[in-house]
Chains A and B, each alone.
Chain A
């Protein structure tokens, strides 16, 4: 699986958009970009995933560059409850199994 690079930490003001970047320059054609987050002491929670098109759901938006070498997770209106570690993972997805390899992630702190 391709490796990812994320900043170790980021801050965001409550109510503002949080933009979390991820580099995955060695991504293969069949690999998806997944985002999970882990709120303190809880199990990781799935947020969103995509292959090459931008994706949006009730939690977030995922913007993937045209060359697929990087992506950005956008939390449009961050709240204090969005404070968590955010993991960007690249893996084969869809109906075939893809092993999730968690890196160190980005610690996002949302402050009042």
Chain B
């Protein structure tokens, strides 16, 4: 398996623009997680899905952030409108129900100017 795939790997955008980050989990995994990492706050869980259903979105910072999982092999994290403080590395991870470890993707480095 290719592992968790994220795109784009780097994104530079201007304040106010819409940003969409994409994730393809490992085939057969039924949990999907979105994290954000900054120097100030470290690695934070934003939201997670189980069987394509959002279970806990308490980590989503505000209404500008939204996440969807239309099917088992694809998820998106959207920021609209983007702000400079959204600049961070966003990681996607997946896991099996019966397994314990999460597998992380390579991340998307977002810069909002």
Contacts and interface: CB of A to CB of B under 8 A. Distances in A.
Main secondary structure of the interface of A (DSSP, over half): loop
B43 A102 contact: yes
A53 interface: no
Q: Is the interface of B mostly helix, strand, loop or mixed?
A: strand
Contacts of A100: 45, 102
A108 to B, nearest CB: 17
B100 interface: yes
Interface residues of B, number: 22
Interface stretch (A2-10, A22-30, A43-51): A43-51
Given A101-B45, A102-B42, A46 B106 contact: no
B98 A44 contact: no
A38 B89 CA distance: 13
Contact of B97 (A95, A101, A104): A95
Contacts of A103: 42
A41 B50 CA distance: 27
Given A43-B93, A44-B91, A103-B42, A94 B100 contact: yes
A45 B100 contact: no
A93 B100 contact: yes
B98 A95 contact: yes
23 contacts: A34-B100, A38-B43, A42-B107, A43-B91, A43-B93, A43-B104, A43-B105, A43-B107, A45-B104, A46-B101, A46-B102, A49-B101, A93-B100, A94-B100, A95-B97, A97-B55, A98-B100, A99-B48, A99-B56, A100-B45, A101-B45, A103-B42, A104-B42
